[in-house]
Structure 1
Amino acid sequence: MSGMSNGTGAMLSRREHIGQSIADILTTPIGTRLMRRNYGSYLPQLVDHPATDANRLRLIAATAQAIIKWEPRTRVLRVGVRLNAQGKCQLSIVRRDTDSADTVMSTVNVGGAA
């Protein structure tokens, strides 16, 4: 099964479509989708907090929680967090898709200036 790119309309492989879905989930604030108020993650709210160890852990937990809830085609193995001075959070997500034995690493940027 494959999907469609939300930017170009081109066909995506299953792996690429899952990556696109994860990025959409993580960058959508909870409560902003009209017909699906629970959709999204708490990351947009958490990214502006101080870069303490406790807040890094909250970012990792919010990432894993959102992916587990909204993307059943994959399993999260590891999440890494990098924060910069401009308020941008870069998440490195290592996952294993349910139809494959391979691990996949993807990055998602949340917050900060465009």
Structure 2
Amino acid sequence: MSRATGRSIALRDHISQSIGDILTTSIGDRLMRRTYGSYLPQLVDHPATEANRLRLIAATAQAIMKWEPRTRVQRITTSFNAQGRCVIAIARRDLHSGAAVNSTVTI
């Protein structure tokens, strides 16, 4: 179900929506699932050094592998837009269909 419209959505879109939720939720925010989420919200305010970019990529991959078993990450890249927000591009393969999917999440 789409969180924006409340209507039914395709499985591919549901996985993308789920990934966005996982990556934008700080670990410890959910009361009944303290380990749900990712470390991305804590990392995005750090300087845009290569070491911190690697930390962003690792935190993204770790969270998706742990909380979204319906897909496999193939590649993750990071960049920063004009407003200074972190844009994470994720290339993944959905296990149900085998389709390659590219998605982005802005933090």
Fold shared, TM-score > 0.5 on shorter chain:
yes
Report the Cα distance in structure 1 between the residues aligned to 2:12 and 2:82, rounded to whole angstroms. Answer: 32
Q: 1:83 Cα shift?
A: 1.6
Counting only pairs closer than 5 Å after superposition, residues 1-114 of structure 1 correspond to structure 2 as 4-84=1-81, 86-110=83-107
Q: 1:85 Cα shift?
A: 5.6
Q: 1:101 Cα shift?
A: 2.3
User: RMSD of aligned C-alpha atoms?
Assistant: 0.9
Identity over aligned pairs, percent: 68
Unaligned runs of 5+ in 1: none
Report the Cα distance in structure 2 between the residues aligned to 1:27 and 1:100, rounded to whole angstroms. Answer: 26
Unaligned runs of 5+ in 2: none
Report the Cα distance in structure 2 between the residues aligned to 1:81 and 1:21, rounded to whole angstroms. Answer: 19
Would you identify which runs of 4 or more consecutive aligned residues in structure 1 move more than 6 Å? Answer: none
Report the Cα distance in structure 1 between the residues aligned to 2:99 and 2:33, rounded to whole angstroms. Answer: 32
Q: How many residues get paired?
A: 107
- TM, length-normalised to structure 2: 0.96
